[in-house]
Amino acid sequence: MNLSFRIFLALILSVIAGLIAGPESLPFIKWWIAPVGTMFINLIKMMIVPVVFTSLIVGMTGLGDTKKLGRIGIKTLGLYLATTAVAIVIGFGVAGISHPGVGTALSGGASMTVKEAPSIMQVFVAMIPANPVQSMAKADILPVIIFALFIGVGIIQVGGERGQRLIDFFDSCAEVCYKVIAIVMQLAPIGVFALLLPVVAQNGPKVLLPLLSVILTVAVACVLHAVLVYSALASVIGKMSPVKFFRGMSEAMLIAFTTCSSSATLPVNMKNAQEKLGVSRDVASFVLPLGATINMDGTALYMGVCSLFIANVFGIDLSLQQMMMIVMTGTLASIGTAGVPGAGLIMLAMVLQSVGLPIEGLALVAGIDRVLDMFRTCINVTGDGAVAVVINETEKIEGNAREAELV
Ligand code: ASP
């Protein structure tokens, strides 16, 4: 039985057990079962800083010599970041209309305190870590990300053997982090059960409805993002009809939907981009592997929807600053998300933490994460394809212009 199925089963079991147990058994549940859930949450929290720090450095240094990559690199990165930020905003927009989780106001299992929202300038000042070790110790994610970005640039600029040594080091560290996360995730069915049982016992059947609303919201937002953003990119800049684009992408989209892994879909995406979308080999082999690692529009969108959902479920009003913070950390977190099933859930913990939302909300999302993962991975992969088409077209124009100059 695979892990996602076991987690889903744990969700169902916790609901049934919680409904049967009812509020009378709460003292027992809180004393004996809830702490197991806390242990599981702690295991996830334990990995947030190490995984963010190492995987961001690996992602950055994977770009290689930034000067050499020059124009294509900047254009690709710019497009990746812009589409990712738009994806979160679309996620927020749809969730703002559908209000997933509103009116549920669950209690139990979470601390309801929200950090007082800082002003926007305070956010920028706080982004720069005066003492990165202190930021790591406090799990202050944004400064840790900024620190990782600087270290990444430093490593690239040092280059040579010494740079390579560090790249290899961080690469191994990131691998170890992924392994540990995989081990922790094996415990997810127990963790999810222990986290949800007290919530269901205390709140009754009203916990079920919001889950359906999240799935629908993520699905609708994904379709909107694909239709609005990717069609526009493909047709306006890529000079390709959206029908041709989506037809060319359909195979990769299906593989992404079923495997829930951008990395696993990469070979199919590379092949189809060249054969069906006419992307040149050079562009495909630079843009797509980079995209499979750092461009996760669907994951970012999911983070937007889920953070709003968790805020709604716990009856917390998000301020505008907190939303901007989610867009910022969500965009950066999606860069650090590995292209493997379930990676986005761990990074969601980091986004929640950065705005002071209850991490316990993860348990609710974890039970249905596989379904959400299908939609978001599909979008992640399609976004890579759209950017490849755009870069291919603009590079063709640049190339023609240079040839004309030479003649
Ligand atoms: N499964 C996603 C991917 O591979 C990452 C995520 O979990 O969001 O693209």
pLDDT in tens, 161-197: 999 999 999 989 988 987 887 788 788 889 878 887 8
State how far the Cα of 209 lies from the Cα of 205, in Å rounded to an integer.
Answer: 8
Average pLDDT value for the chain: 83
Kindly state the average pLDDT of the residues 325-334: 85
- What is the whole-number distance in angstroms between the Cα of residue 267 and the centre of ligand 1? 16
% of the chain exceeding 90 in pLDDT: 28
pTM score over 0.75: no
pLDDT of res. 405: 59
339-382 pLDDT per residue, tens: 788 888 888 888 888 888 888 888 888 878 878 998 999 999 99
Nearest alpha carbon to residue 343 among 286, 384, 270, 294: 294
pLDDT of res. 302: 95
- What is the whole-number distance in angstroms between the Cα of residue 338 and the centre of ligand 1? 7
Evaluate whether 356 touches 115 at the Cβ level (below 8 Å): yes
% of the chain exceeding 70 in pLDDT: 87
In angstroms, the first-to-last Cα distance of the chain is 64
Q: Is 340 in the pocket of ligand 1 (CB under 6 A)?
A: yes
Nearest alpha carbon to residue 349 among 327, 330, 325, 373: 330
250-287 pLDDT per residue, tens: 888 888 887 788 887 887 888 888 889 999 877 787 78
Determine the structural domain holding residue 159 and report its residue range: 3-406
- Residue 289 clears pLDDT 60, i.e. is over it: yes
pLDDT of res. 36: 93
pLDDT of res. 226: 95
pLDDT of res. 247: 92
Kindly state the average pLDDT of the residues 134-143: 82
- What is the whole-number distance in angstroms between the Cα of residue 276 and the centre of ligand 1? 24
- Residue 68 clears pLDDT 80, i.e. is over it: no
pLDDT of res. 110: 42
State how far the Cα of 341 lies from the Cα of 277, in Å rounded to an integer.
Answer: 26
- Residue 327 clears pLDDT 70, i.e. is over it: yes
- Residue 5 clears pLDDT 70, i.e. is over it: yes
Q: Is 55 in the pocket of ligand 1 (CB under 6 A)?
A: no
Q: Which of 299, 303, 370 to mutate to test the pocket of ligand 1 (most atoms within 8 A of CB)?
A: 299
Kindly state the average pLDDT of the residues 27-32: 92
Q: Is 329 in the pocket of ligand 1 (CB under 6 A)?
A: no
Q: Is 383 in the pocket of ligand 1 (CB under 6 A)?
A: no
pLDDT of res. 407: 54
Q: Is 296 in the pocket of ligand 1 (CB under 6 A)?
A: yes
pLDDT of res. 111: 41
Helix (H) or strand (E) holding 44: helix 34-61
Q: Is 272 in the pocket of ligand 1 (CB under 6 A)?
A: no
* Ligand 1 closest atom vs CA 338: 5
pLDDT bin (cut points 50, 70, 90) of residue 64 is: low
Kindly state the average pLDDT of the residues 378-395: 93
187-222 pLDDT per residue, tens: 888 987 888 788 788 877 766 777 888 999 999 999
**Lowest mean pLDDT: which of 289-298, 372-381, 392-401?**
392-401
What's the Cα-to-Cα distance from 389 to each of 231, 334, 401, rounded to whole Å? 11, 21, 19
Q: Is 307 in the pocket of ligand 1 (CB under 6 A)?
A: no
The CATH number linked to 346 is 1.10.3860.10
Nearest alpha carbon to residue 313 among 201, 211, 194: 211
- What is the whole-number distance in angstroms between the Cα of residue 302 and the centre of ligand 1? 10
What's the Cα-to-Cα distance from 75 to each of 79, 179, 249, 287, 387, rounded to whole Å? 6, 33, 22, 10, 9
Work out how many domains the chain is built from and give that number: 1
Nearest CA to ligand 1 atom 1: 341
Q: How many CB atoms lie within 10 A of CB 14?
A: 27
**Lowest mean pLDDT: which of 48-62, 139-153, 168-182, 350-364?**
48-62
Nearest CA to ligand 1 atom 6: 344
78-125 pLDDT per residue, tens: 999 999 999 999 998 998 888 887 766 555 444 444 444 445 566 678
